[in-house]
Amino acid sequence: MLAHEDHVSPFAGQDIGTWLAGLARRRRDHPFLIFAPFDAAPTQLTYAAFVDAVARVACGLQNRGVRPGDRVLVHLENCPESLIARFACAWMGAICVGSNALAVGPEIEWFASSTGAIGAITQPKFAGMVAGHCRDLKFLAVTSTDAGAPPAESARPAQGESFASLYAEPLPQRSPDPLAPASIMFTTGTTGRPKGAVWTHANVLWGARVNAQQQNMRMDDVSQIFLPLYHVVGLSWCLLSAMWAGGTVVLQPRFSASRYWEVARRFRATVGSQVFFTLNALEQAGVPDHCFRQWIVARHEVARMQRFGLDFVTGWGMTEMLTQAIYCEPGVEAPDGVIGRPGQGYRARVVDDNGAQVAPGEAGRLMIGGIRGLSIFREYFGNEKATAGAFDMHGYFDTGDRVILQEDGWLRFGDRFKDVLKVGGEGVSASEIERVVARTPGVKECAVVAMPDADYGEVPLAYIVAEAGLSPDAAQGLPEAVLARCRADLAKFKVPRDVRVLDALPMVGFGKVAKAKLREMAQQSAQR
């Protein structure tokens, strides 16, 4: 795999700042962001007003000692401040560390400490947690609302300063450097802690341009976004593509089946994105008349397109990819269930255990080739070993996913070689949960697998073996003790749905847990 600096960059002399400045000139008074919170009236920013806010907050960050290359933790739900903060970091050369808003204290501590974040921007209900777990921060800025909702009296922070205080005179644009790091996006760790994937400015511009092209985005599009902006789909596939086209974004704090269609119809949304859980919820609620022409989804389903009355853009990707590395553009006839074909700027291989290309009709490991720092992330922050291990000898990125290469060239998703679950669209590392479960007093051994779930696709299920000599009361209360430990240390979507006690974990070979057997047991229990 070639590094970006081995080529003349398609974004030479450009960065996120030059892109934003150009948008402010070309689309000056066009609505960029309509924020539709659940508990307040919608607010709106034009492109010019948004970029002005970015430049002013960038100056405020500089005034607090942030310098190019420094990391700033942005721990926010979907709201205008989350976008202003992210782009303000890029404008002045800092690196935005975008953390999952569902994370709990120990996870936040990891995000901040592993990246060396010097400051943080958050909201009232998270301020105490961030301040308590990130003690080395030089500053903490707190928004006035919780994604548009008035903060609870108990959540009003005694520490930190207001986000509004960051506004200062607009900071002039810096000299552009497309190879400079712009953000750190955390990806699901397969051996424990999440890894921070570094995106350069060129990565961001690539994601914006290619996503817009592959989705046939237009400047008159209205893109409704509820998916979290700390994930690649919400940020790059949805937001950046809409910005590249010069369209309008209607942003919601999160998904709400009862509020989705009302907002879509009010603002005449034309494009959107769905995950397994939200598709099911919207389908069950009934489909009213709407203005949508397409949604981004995970796989091609003709019957569902007909029921919703729109086209699907199918996409497969990862945090490391920026874009839909495998996709099917709208309006193309494709077999039901496929995820697509290789996207622009990517090479794909489907290989067996020996690294040889599989024959059509066979399944294998999906490997993706591209250019680091441009079409693929640059590195895992502070983790050279993980970065090196992510690529094979030919420079292809090992996705850890198994796909089926059909006779006609389409790709169909199989399963994951990596020990990763997908819970309502959120990637969850089994080993991360196991690390927490194993710390529970009384647990001798543990293993976490996916259990099928009608609403979320799959959910974590923990199997444990109790230590010998536990009292009857301790043994009986062990599952609840495990769940309590997980609730304290893990985001809600990572907490196991249930904990099952076994006399011994099934093994295959010497000391290796037979997770295939546990998955089979989990599937059988889900069908009862």
Q: At residue 172, does pLDDT exceed 70? A: yes
Query: Phi/psi zone of residue 361: left (φ > 0), alpha (ψ -120 to 50 degrees), beta?
Result: left
**What was the pLDDT predicted at 310?**
96
Quote the percentage of the chain above a pLDDT of 90: 71
Contact (CB, 8 A) for 190 and 420: yes
422-527 to CATH, choices 3.90.1150.10, 3.90.1010.10, 3.30.300.30, 3.90.660.20: 3.30.300.30
Nearest Cα neighbor of 281 from 425, 416, 415 is: 425
**What was the pLDDT predicted at 37?**
96
Instruction: Report the distance separating Cα 461 and Cα 448, nearest Å.
Output: 6
What mean pLDDT is predicted for residues 270-285? 91
How sure is the predictor about 155, in pLDDT bands with cuts at 50, 70 and 90? low
CA angle 193–69–204, rounded 5-degree value = 75
In the chain, the amino acid numbered 361 is: G
Contact (CB, 8 A) for 46 and 70: no
Nearest Cα neighbor of 54 from 31, 20, 23, 78 is: 20
How sure is the predictor about 6, in pLDDT bands with cuts at 50, 70 and 90? low
Neighbours of 191 (CB within 10 A): 13
Nearest Cα neighbor of 135 from 184, 73, 59, 189 is: 73
Q: How many CA atoms lie within 13 A of 254 on its CB side?
A: 12
DSSP secondary structure, 358-379, as one string: PPTT-EEEEEEE--BTTTB--E
Instruction: For residue 172, give the 3-state DSSP assignment.
Output: coil
Lowest mean pLDDT, pick from 5-14, 140-149, 491-500: 5-14
Instruction: Report the distance separating Cα 500 and Cα 465, nearest Å.
Output: 9
How sure is the predictor about 416, in pLDDT bands with cuts at 50, 70 and 90? low
**What was the pLDDT predicted at 516?**
76
User: 371-387: per-residue pLDDT in tens?
Assistant: 999 999 999 999 999 99
**What was the pLDDT predicted at 506?**
86
Residues 6+ apart with CB under 8 A from 54: 20, 84, 87, 88, 91
Instruction: Report the distance separating Cα 256 and Cα 263, nearest Å.
Output: 10
Residues 6+ apart with CB under 8 A from 43: 34, 35, 80
What mean pLDDT is predicted for residues 9-38? 96
What Rg value do the Cα atoms of the chain yield, rounded?
23
Q: At residue 2, does pLDDT exceed 90? A: no
Residues 6+ apart with CB under 8 A from 319: 185, 186, 187, 197, 231, 232, 377
What mean pLDDT is predicted for residues 133-144? 96
In the chain, the amino acid numbered 169 is: E
Q: What is the pTM of this model?
A: 0.86
Q: Where are the domains of the chain?
A: 422-527
Q: At residue 282, does pLDDT exceed 80? A: yes
How sure is the predictor about 508, in pLDDT bands with cuts at 50, 70 and 90? low
Quote the percentage of the chain above a pLDDT of 70: 95
**What was the pLDDT predicted at 361?**
87
Provide the token pair at 181: 């790091």
**What was the pLDDT predicted at 189?**
57
Contact (CB, 8 A) for 152 and 137: no
Instruction: Report the distance separating Cα 208 and Cα 238, nearest Å.
Output: 9
Average pLDDT, the chain: 91
**Distances in Å between the alpha carbon of 507 and those of 327, 432, 451, 514?**
38, 20, 19, 5
Q: At residue 346, does pLDDT exceed 90? A: yes
DSSP secondary structure, 410-446, as one string: -EEEEEESSSEEEETTEEEEHHHHHHHHHTSTTEEEE
Instruction: For residue 191, give the 3-state DSSP assignment.
Output: coil
Instruction: Report the distance separating Cα 129 and Cα 108, nearest Å.
Output: 8
Residue with tokens 């047991």: 521
Q: At residue 191, does pLDDT exceed 70? A: no
**What was the pLDDT predicted at 9?**
82
What mean pLDDT is predicted for residues 187-194? 68
**Distances in Å between the alpha carbon of 438 and those of 427, 431, 471?**
21, 10, 19
